[in-house]
Structure 1
Amino acid sequence: MPSTNGRCGARRLTAPAALLAAALLMSGTPATAGTAFPAAATTSVLPANPYAGPRGSATMHGDTGSSDTTPLAGPGAGSLSGKLNGLLSACPTVLIGADDYPVALCTPILGQVPTVHLLDPHTGASLTSLQLTKGSLLGGVYAYIDHEDRLVVVDGSRSLLRIGHRRDAAGSWRLTVDSSLPLGSAVPADDAVTGLSPDWQGRVWFATGGGVVGTADDRTGTVRSVALPAGERIANSISTAPQGTAVTTTHATYLLTASTDGTPRISWRQAYDRGQARKPGLLSWGSGSTPTFFGPTDGTDYVTIVDNADATVRLKVYRTSTGETVCSVPVLLAADGPGSENSPVGADRSVYVAGTYGYPYPAVPEGAGASVPGSAPFAGGLSRVDVRADGSGCDLVWDNELRSAAVPKLSTADGKLHTVLRDPVIPGTKGTSLLDPYRYAQIDPATGEVLRSKLIGIGALYNTLQMAGTIAPDGAYLQGTVTGILRITAG
């Protein structure tokens, strides 16, 4: 096939692998039972952030660079089993601190008041909970665990909270607001924080739906901010690395740094093709990506997103130091689904993109606008792109039609992509229904083949709604659903 542009090589698709994956979708059996699973070719990871919790479980996307990788191994040998801990809530954020206790940020079906749950590390059951002030649909979704095992989140009152957990005198668990810093001086009353992440100086960076980017230092009470160009909205979270903070708006990707007083300043800006409108299966008119830091040197060489071009979306890779475009590669070709609401997975020189085009979200944020077309079948698709060793461009390594219903996580310990697949009721179709089966799956990052899978449930109660899973220190895979949290184990 021809080159995608002057700097990107020919597309190399593994048709036999895609056919095998399709067969596995129907059979649900391992691809190579009894053989060793291939390891992922990755050694470089983002430097540990001294103000965040453990790598792999401190943020929704694993680390502050949003690599969606983890140093922990997922469910290992033995029979796979899954248990749904019902909370009558959608739970997009499940994080784990150094004390191994999972903390989940959920939105109840009734009332939709954001609620923090402390979970039993052995069963996944809720030990205690704490309600937060209600805000917008995306406000309060993104949070992180800090270096003291506290959940850091901005609530509907536009206050930066640090929520700790501890036992009281009677031995019962409690969640408490340990500190609160108002952000009202930077966040307008009609706006809300959609993403936040700590930098290497201990400040908390935040971004709002209306396009405000700021820093907050709750040690001093200092809040500084800057407004990005009018009309640019921020619909996803942000990512931090030692070089700066990456922010993707509905028009462009930025790298920002802070002046000595904490005021954000733009280091570079790269516009992308945002298409003509919001697409079905995306939550905004523009890229659905939280920007991902990755690279072979120290895990921060590059920043990557997926654009929102009309006919075929492209993976955009930029040099972190300069913003120079390394490549622009078409992805999600086999599935013919031009769109991804998920953050790319990035490790070493490889990036993995899961498609969400047509995914039936029950609601979209206010102001998202109508999708064009109004609806579409869930196409799915999973692609791998590698940056060349000399940094001269990128190549599409494999591309298939797997329908991931969650943000995949790559374990650098067991060398597998972990996710949940949403299968159609009628094999070979792309439709969705209230009776769709959901399967936890382990995927070979070298080929895109499903190595192992397990049916975890049938029907709407098990809808993972493109939310991110988290691997716990004991190997359990914790996955939010629209009604609670799945705990998948092996043994």
Structure 2
Amino acid sequence: MTAPSARPRARRGPLVAALFSALALAATAVPAGAAPTADFAPVPPHNPYAGPDGTATMHGDTGSSDTTPLAGPGAGNLSSKRVALASACPTVLVGSDGYPVVLCTPVFGQVPTVHLLDPADGSSLTSLRLTKGSLLGGVYAYLDHEDRLVVVDGSRSLLRVAHRKDASGKWRLSVDRSLSLASAVPADDAVTGLSPDWRGRVWFATGNGVVGLADDRTGRVSTLRLPAGERIANSISTAPEGTAVTSTHATYLLTADADGTPAIAWRQAYDRGRARKPGLLSWGSGSTPTFLGPKTGTDYVAIVDNADTTVRLKVYRTDGGAEICSIPVLQAAGGPGSENSPIGAGDSVFVAGTYGYPYPALPDGAGPSVPSSADFAGGLTRVDIRPDGTGCATVWDNTLRSAAVPKLSTATNTLHTVVRDPLVPGTGGTGVLDPYRYVQIDPETGRVTRSRQVGVGALYDTLQMAGTVAPDGSYLQGTVTGVLRITAD
């Protein structure tokens, strides 16, 4: 989820073109009217201060379940369109009015920019440049209950960005409300994640380990600092029980009293390994913590650790932090690492591997990886928590090379993602001529049920960014150069 360096456009020769043709897969539709075979429910409850579930945050909801109640592209021929924005666009959200709001980082200049897209064709209706900060600062944002983008910019200001038409009928983006966090966030630090609580206040976390709660209605900001040396490289998640934060050393549940003072309810350390791995952006878990559970949708908190040879899914009880299980994942692919938030729905967790993914840029302080490079392994694992909450079991484990954060549609029980195929079938390397495919996956078996090539080459790199199902059924996927809009006729 980083802004890419400029890459040259590669030229295709006859042999390469033939390989592209051999790799391209035509769309094969799932039988119309096929009913879901399982019930992946419940999901985290709706946060009254966030936008629609499934489209309000990068991970779908404030519990970061990576689920959506929307169906996605249905039966019919699949097609895709590349909306060129000359930017990496990791945050693609859709408000209750159906208009996509996208937060992008341009390839040149790297000044975070908000785009309002036309829901009919994905074109940019208007844009707004924000103050530049760190590479990951401003990547995470969410839509509030009034469809405003909530984000912290490079000036360390908490902004609510609204979209509306002006007197001439043209769309405009403007800052409705702003609150400086400069007193709480040091000048050499930046906010990496934020999410609303159930009182309308905004939790935030910084790269250097500050966690705070801000109320931009009253101006009150309160913070606490995690132990020295702990960094926060991913976003945070909120539920009625509290706020989950995973640092480079441990996972926390934080709560706050009526006056907004944050406190640590519990802490669970995990195995962070000996160094950052290739395909991860920090030395530690790559997870935004996921709330899930069979009763309330927030009974548990799940992450993936960074152990050296085999990473494990860690599941904790939200109430008290007791460990439910610590189970190996991504073993079929052989790549021990995930930069992605797990999908959580009911008793089921899905983990996508990113070990070896070739990010073109890294955040400040990421440090060298060990080994220095590796082939992109991929892998996708489903784990189910036992009904009595006494442990977990692997349901399936495959070698699918997801190049994006997958999403689970609970309307159709379908996993959606984009995969990165090797240019030469059967090999594990990556290159600027790799083909990319949109796929639908059966969560019961892990098998691809439908796929369509969406592009070839670096312009289509989805860079482990999250996709979003829009209300009209289109699938919107951020890339290093804009947004892919995938639809079915």
TM-score by length of 1: 0.94
In structure 1, the partner of 2:11 is none
Structure 2 alignment gaps of length 5 or more: 1-21
Q: Do 1:40 and 1:416's aligned partners in 2 also have CA atoms closer than 8 Å?
A: no
Q: Do 2:29 and 2:77's aligned partners in 1 also have CA atoms closer than 8 Å?
A: no
Q: Give the deviation of 1:260 after TM superposition.
A: 2.5
Q: Identify which of 94, 112, 115 aligns with 1:114.
A: 112
CA distance in 1, matches of 2:215, 2:60: 23
Going from structure 1 to structure 2, the CA distance change for 1:433 and 1:40 (only over 3 Å counts) comes to farther
CA distance in 1, matches of 2:30, 2:206: 46
In structure 2, the partner of 1:353 is 351
2:137 matches 1:174: no
CA distance in 2, matches of 1:229, 1:403: 36
Letter of the structure 2 residue corresponding to residue 122 of structure 1: A
Q: Deviations over 1:101-158 (max 9, x none)?
A: 1000000011000000000011110000000000001100000000001000000000
RMSD: 1.4
Q: Identify which of 141, 153, 156 aligns with 1:155.
A: 153
What SS is found at the alignment partner of 1:373? coil
Going from structure 1 to structure 2, the CA distance change for 1:34 and 1:62 (only over 3 Å counts) comes to closer
Going from structure 1 to structure 2, the CA distance change for 1:37 and 1:449 (only over 3 Å counts) comes to farther
Q: Identify which of 183, 190, 194 aligns with 1:196.
A: 194
Identity %: 76
What SS is found at the alignment partner of 1:74? coil
Q: Identify which of 397, 418, 427 aligns with 1:429.
A: 427
Q: Deviations over 1:365-420 (max 9, x none)?
A: 00010000000000000000000011110001000000000000000001100000
In structure 2, the partner of 1:241 is 239
Q: Deviations over 1:56-80 (max 9, x none)?
A: 0000000000000000001000000
CA distance in 2, matches of 1:202, 1:109: 34
Q: Do 1:420 and 1:441's aligned partners in 2 also have CA atoms closer than 8 Å?
A: yes
Q: Give the deviation of 1:34 after TM superposition.
A: 7.1
Letter of the structure 1 residue corresponding to residue 389 of structure 2: G
Equivalences for 1:392-411 in 2 at 5 Å?
392-411=390-409
Letter of the structure 2 residue corresponding to residue 340 of structure 1: S
CA distance in 1, matches of 2:402, 2:320: 33
What SS is found at the alignment partner of 2:313? strand
Q: Deviations over 1:328-379 (max 9, x none)?
A: 0000000000000000000010000000000000011000100000000000
**Which segment drifts farther, 255-264 or 168-177?**
255-264
CA distance in 2, matches of 1:482, 1:63: 24
Q: Do 1:31 and 1:449's aligned partners in 2 also have CA atoms closer than 8 Å?
A: no
Q: Do 1:74 and 1:476's aligned partners in 2 also have CA atoms closer than 8 Å?
A: yes
Letter of the structure 2 residue corresponding to residue 212 of structure 1: V
In structure 2, the partner of 1:337 is 335
In structure 2, the partner of 1:298 is 296
Going from structure 1 to structure 2, the CA distance change for 1:375 and 1:31 (only over 3 Å counts) comes to farther
Letter of the structure 2 residue corresponding to residue 364 of structure 1: L
In structure 2, the partner of 1:485 is 483
Q: Do 2:95 and 2:147's aligned partners in 1 also have CA atoms closer than 8 Å?
A: yes
What SS is found at the alignment partner of 2:459? helix
Q: Identify which of 271, 276, 279 aligns with 2:277.
A: 279
Q: Give the deviation of 1:242 after TM superposition.
A: 0.1
CA distance in 1, matches of 2:161, 2:172: 10
Q: Give the deviation of 1:43 after TM superposition.
A: 2.5
Q: Give the deviation of 1:26 after TM superposition.
A: 7.9
In structure 2, the partner of 1:369 is 367
CA distance in 2, matches of 1:369, 1:119: 36
Letter of the structure 1 residue corresponding to residue 453 of structure 2: L
Letter of the structure 2 residue corresponding to residue 85 of structure 1: V
Q: Do 2:43 and 2:344's aligned partners in 1 also have CA atoms closer than 8 Å?
A: no
Q: Give the deviation of 1:427 after TM superposition.
A: 1.0
What SS is found at the alignment partner of 1:461? helix
Q: Do 1:38 and 1:444's aligned partners in 2 also have CA atoms closer than 8 Å?
A: no
TM-score by length of 2: 0.94
In structure 2, the partner of 1:259 is 257
CA distance in 2, matches of 1:348, 1:123: 34
Q: Give the deviation of 1:39 after TM superposition.
A: 3.9
In structure 2, the partner of 1:133 is 131
In structure 2, the partner of 1:310 is 308
Structure 1 alignment gaps of length 5 or more: 1-23
Q: Give the deviation of 1:47 after TM superposition.
A: 1.0
Q: Do 1:326 and 1:392's aligned partners in 2 also have CA atoms closer than 8 Å?
A: yes
Q: Identify which of 390, 414, 418 aligns with 1:420.
A: 418
